[in-house]
């Protein structure tokens, strides 16, 4: 899905990153998820139950953050599972893309 967010939102999302060390160490493995509808209040908790190999999940209102740790390809946090746990379709963007979107929104 195509999700449009206002310019100010990208800066807020960028500054709200709960995993700053992952942003520095492995920016391709840190993902921000935005959903078409409101996220289920327990989405992060439900997803964390499926996390493996150091993966971490955090939620901040309508933003879902996933630190895939070692690799996205071997993760049990698949797009279908993320959508089910979130209660809505979620689109993920890695940290580099989040930064580029925030920069282009200036």
Q: Is residue 1 part of a domain?
A: no
Identify the CATH number of the domain in which residue 95 sits: 3.30.70
Rounded Cα distance, 23 and 27, in Å: 5
Number of domains composing the chain: 1
pLDDT computed for residue 72 by the predictor: 94
**Digit-coded pLDDT (tens) for 3-44:** 667 677 888 999 999 999 999 999 999 999 999 899 999 999
Range of 24's domain?
7-104
Q: Is residue 2 part of a domain?
A: no
Count of residues making up the chain: 106
Rounded Cα distance, 47 and 20, in Å: 20
pLDDT computed for residue 3 by the predictor: 64
pLDDT computed for residue 5 by the predictor: 72
Flag whether pLDDT at 102 surpasses 70: yes
**Digit-coded pLDDT (tens) for 45-91:** 999 999 998 999 999 988 999 999 999 999 999 999 999 999 999 99
Q: Is residue 81 part of a domain?
A: yes
């Amino acid at each position: 899905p195509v999700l449009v967010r206002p310019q100010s939102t990208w800066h807020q999302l960028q500054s709200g990153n709960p995993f700053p060390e992952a942003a520095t160490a492995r920016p391709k493995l840190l993902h921000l998820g935005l959903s078409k509808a409101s996220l289920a209040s327990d989405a992060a908790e439900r997803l964390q139950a499926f996390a493996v190999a150091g993966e971490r999940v955090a939620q901040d209102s309508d933003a879902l953050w996933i630190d895939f740790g070692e690799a996205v390809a071997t993760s049990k946090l698949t797009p279908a599972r993320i959508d089910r746990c979130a209660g809505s379709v979620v689109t993920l963007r890695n940290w580099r893309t989040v930064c580029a979107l925030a920069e282009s929104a200036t």
